[in-house]
Amino acid sequence: MRKHRTLCVIVALCVMLFTLAMPVTMASTAFTAFSVLVTERDGRTSVEGATVQVGTKTKTTNINGFAAFSNVYFDSGNQTMTVSKNGYATVNFTVGARNEGQTIEVVLPKQ
């Protein structure tokens, strides 16, 4: 009986040591919601119908130049946001979890 108890204690200690020795990795992931306001160079004229793409999500700006994103997944910390519309230059930005709750203002220059 005593050998059995000693063996159980040794096995339990080995399991604890093995568990403590395993590396713990924390993934830098986040789900983020933010909006985008697209205007012309004057900053007052909204650009309706601009395409805003972040990762696999694509939105089109409304009549006020807004596009809203929710549940955007940032697995590596940042992604490229591309804003484009015919007749305007394409603009790229880096966005990430730090933009949570923000409105990102984008100026699209006419071509």
Per-residue pLDDT, 20: 47
CA 77/CA 24 separation, integer angstroms: 19
Q: What is the mean predicted confidence (pLDDT) over 37-55?
A: 95
Of residues 94, 97, 80, the one with CA closest to residue 28: 97
Per-residue pLDDT, 8: 44
- Per-residue model confidence as pLDDT tens digits over 82-101: 999 999 999 999 999 889 99
What is the arrangement of strands in the sheet containing 103-107, beginning at the earlier edge strand? 66-74, 30-39, 103-107
- Per-residue model confidence as pLDDT tens digits over 9-45: 454 444 454 444 544 444 445 678 999 999 999 988 9
SS3 69: strand
Per-residue pLDDT, 97: 87
Residue in the structure block whose two tokens are 């972040």? 54
